[in-house]
Amino acid sequence: MDWLWELIGQQAQAGCMAVQGGFVGLMGEGDAIAGNFCRLMAGAWLTVKLTLISLVIGFALAVPVALARLSRNPLLNWPAVAYTFYFRGTPLLVQLFLLYYGSGQFSPELRELGLWRGMFREAYFCALLTLTLNTAAYTAEILRGAMLGVPAGEVEAARAYGMSGVKLYRRIVFPKAMRIALPAYSNETVFLFQSTSLVSLVTLLDLMGVARDVISSTFRTFETLIFAGLVYLAISFLIFSIFKRVEQHLMRHLKGAGGGEGQSAAGGTKA
């Protein structure tokens, strides 16, 4: 697989250089955006990559947290409540600095455990870990609300059919909860995507990081920030439109059947 990624990378870079050449020809040699187009796009790629990875791992983490949050066992419930309250109640920037700078206070211990080199020492690892833990907390709350929004009648019907435990959740609760959670989850995805811009403050060269770099070398603050803003805006729109597609796909069985079920889904999101 590696050779494939390398090939794609090379092709992307070659294509990007060609586009950059075109822009430089169009805008002139000294233009801040045209001259740094490839670097900015590489930054945007890191932004997207950080979003995707933390989204996937965050979701995988959010499911057990949401279940623990719904559990009546205090040993499961309490840690989940504390975790979601902490990560939802403090700024992402503090969490990021806490992990990136704060881990330095325990560097001897972390080194001992083999968690320093290639892990807590690296800004990339800390940024990814922070984003993942943060989005997992928000997603867990969304999922919890959605699971509470699953109509009791459906769960009762499933139980009457003899379903219980994992099967009940896999066949009835999760599919229904996903539909209820989708609008809120699409918002959370866009928020996560935008908040990745904070990683530029711990030296990472994401879109924002490259933009700041370009500003400090060209002093073209306005153009560079507006360009970065437009790229963020475009990708935010892309994320929304993807979610709209997914939503239509998941709701396709409701077409023409009246708004009954659709209404209950919309009501569930508010809760």
Partner 1 sequence: MEYTRELFQGYQWVFWAGAEITLLVGLASLPIALVLGLLGAWSKLCSIGPLRGLAVVYTTVVRGVPELVLILLFYYGLTILLQDLIAFLAGSSEPVDLPRFLTGTMTLGLIYGAFATEVFRGAYLAVSRGQIEAASAFGMSPFLAFRRVILPQMWRFALPGLGNLWLVLIKATALVSVIQLPDLMYQTNVGRMATRAPFTFYFTASLIYLLITAVSLIAIRYAEQWASRGVVRKI
Q: Does 217 bind partner 1 (CB under 8 A)?
A: no
Q: Say if CB 154 and CB 204 are below 8 A apart.
A: no
Between residues 60 and 82, which has the closer beta carbon with respect to partner 1? 82
Q: Does 236 bind partner 1 (CB under 8 A)?
A: yes
Q: Which stretch binds partner 1 (CB under 8 A): 48-56, 57-65, 86-94, 138-146?
A: 86-94
Q: Say if CB 208 and CB 197 are below 8 A apart.
A: yes
Q: Say if CB 208 and CB 224 are below 8 A apart.
A: no
Q: Does 186 bind partner 1 (CB under 8 A)?
A: no
Q: Which stretch binds partner 1 (CB under 8 A): 163-171, 172-180, 194-202, 245-253?
A: 194-202
Q: Say if CB 208 and CB 228 are below 8 A apart.
A: yes
- For 200, half-sphere exposure in the C-beta direction (CA atoms, 13 angstrom radius) is 20
Q: Does 36 bind partner 1 (CB under 8 A)?
A: no
Contacts to partner 1 from residues 153-182, by CB under 8 A: none
Q: Which of 79, 85, 159, 259 binds partner 1 (CB under 8 A)?
A: 85
- Length in residues, the chain: 271
For residues 56 and 147, what is the distance between their CA atoms, to the nearest angstrom?
19
Closest by CA to 176, choosing from 245, 246, 261, 114, is: 261
Q: Which stretch binds partner 1 (CB under 8 A): 116-124, 157-165, 176-184, 228-236?
A: 228-236
Between residues 106 and 174, which has the closer beta carbon with respect to partner 1? 106
Q: Say if CB 148 and CB 181 are below 8 A apart.
A: no
The residues that touch partner 1, with contacts defined as CB under 8 A, are: 85-86, 89-95, 97-98, 101-106, 190, 194-195, 197-198, 200-201, 208, 211-212, 215, 221-222, 225-226, 228-229, 232-233, 236-237
